[in-house]
Amino acid sequence: MDARLGDVIDDFCVKCRRLTNHSVVSLLNGAAAKVRCRTCYSDHDYRNEQAPPSKKDLKKAELFNAVLSGVAQPPAAAEESADGAEPKKSAKKPGKRAEA
């Protein structure tokens, strides 16, 4: 899309916290680089109508990745035998009903 200065486009405004009309303020390679909200008149980078992730979501993702990095990978290759057959199943012990 070749935008021109002053064109009205939709974008997510961080200050208003909603999708509003914006005017193109600067261009980079024919695409909008900076826009101005037509509701609150704040300038910001063009976000392609995408809301930025919340700080809470970023914190959750960081903690999740920290936990995953601490967990050891299960040794899947060690469970398989050398000839490719299934691993042997252990014999079941009789329960209380079988003993009586």
Amino acid 71: pLDDT: 77
* CATH number for the domain that contains residue 15: 2.30.30
pLDDT tens string 8-46: 999 999 898 899 999 999 999 989 999 999 999 999 999
Query: What is the pTM (predicted TM-score) of this model?
Result: 0.54
Dihedral in degrees, nearest 10, Cα atoms 76, 82, 84, 90: -70
pLDDT of res. 89: 60
Alpha-carbon gap, residue 31 to 46, rounded angstroms:
9
> DSSP assignment of 39-88, as one string?
TT--EEE--TT-PPPPHHHHHHHHHHHHHHHHSPPP-HHHHS-TTSPPPP
Neighbours of 55 (CB within 10 A): 8
87 with 80: CB under 8 angstroms? yes
State the total domains in the chain. 1
Residue 81 lies in a domain: no
Residue 10 located in a structural domain: yes
| Residue at 95 is within a domain | no
Domain extent for 15: 1-69
- Domain assignment present for residue 43? The answer is yes
